Structure 1
Amino acid sequence: MAEDDWSSVREWHRAVNERDLAAARRPKGAAEGVEVFTDWITRSGIHLEPVSWHPVARDRIVVEQDATWPDAPDAESRQAPPVRTATLFVLDGDRVAAALRYDDGLHAALRAADGG
């Protein structure tokens, strides 16, 4: 994968935001926690809007995002302002192997991506 081709991460965001559970389960394989992840997509009602992209290595990128919960079950969450967060994506070829959220923000995710 070319370093500037983060299509699997873009597809991950699309699948989450559109509640596309079939896409969130692809590709088939030895993925742990897929059912937990798809349940979270449905239950949380989250929408993640990428704000900035920070490639760390060929197989790792940190994406800073604004999180909102427009489809959350409770009105308070639906009306809450966006929360800035960051997610470290680890890729295995063209597949997202891990998506690790850092609510402490971009710098925490970048430190984790660098192994620190």
Structure 2
Amino acid sequence: MPGADTVAGMTGRLAVVEAWLVAVDRADAGAATALCAPDVEVVGPCGSVRGREVIGPWPARAGFTSRPLRRFCGAGDAVVVEQDATWTDPGTGAGRGRAVVASSFRVAGGAITRYQRHDDGLPAALAATGLTDADEVLTRAS
């Protein structure tokens, strides 16, 4: 069983990720950016880029919102969230798609240092982070 410091660290990392997801859902670029390290790595299908400036315009442009389904947090710095995601056109509000995806994060010092969305789902996100079903968090971070 993890010690109190480890549990507090896991809860803190998960709270940072949940706050970031709320900021993204609200298209609040300032709040999302503030939760990231200055050299945050954002990994996408075409490679990776670094820097908060990548996060800034993304929430408003993407029209991405999600509802967390499952959360995973281990003894390292990794957090994974499985999400029911929807995309809408920011200009018209028209739906552009829906899927179950997973996002993996690295969180250190109270900031997100790495973010990657896994369109191929939860198993890929868990494998990429080294987390397993045993790392599932069954209660929400406070």
TM-score range, shorter chain: 0.7 to 0.9
Q: Which residue of 1 aligns with 2:123?
A: 107
Q: Verify: 1:57 aligned to 2:75, yes or no.
A: yes
1:22-37 mapped onto 2 (5 Å cutoff):
22-26=30-34, 30-31=38-39, 32-37=50-55
Separation in structure 2 between the aligned mates of residue 28 and residue 53 of structure 1, nearest angstrom: 19
The AA in structure 1 aligned to 2:121 is: G
Which of 1 and 2 has higher RCO (CA within 8 Å, sep 6+)?
A: 2
Report the TM-score when normalising by structure 2.
Answer: 0.69
Q: Which has the higher strand share?
A: 2
Q: Verify: 1:4 aligned to 2:17, yes or no.
A: no
Relative distance call for 1:98 and 1:28 in structure 2 (3 A) is closer
Report the TM-score when normalising by structure 1.
Answer: 0.83
The runs of 5 or more residues in structure 2 that have no matched partner are 1-7, 40-49, 132-142
Relative distance call for 1:96 and 1:33 in structure 2 (3 A) is same
Aligned length: 112
Q: Of 88, 94, 99, which aligns to 1:70?
A: 88
Identity value in percent: 34
CA RMSD after TM alignment:
2.2
The runs of 5 or more residues in structure 1 that have no matched partner are none
Separation in structure 2 between the aligned mates of residue 18 and residue 2 of structure 1, nearest angstrom: 26
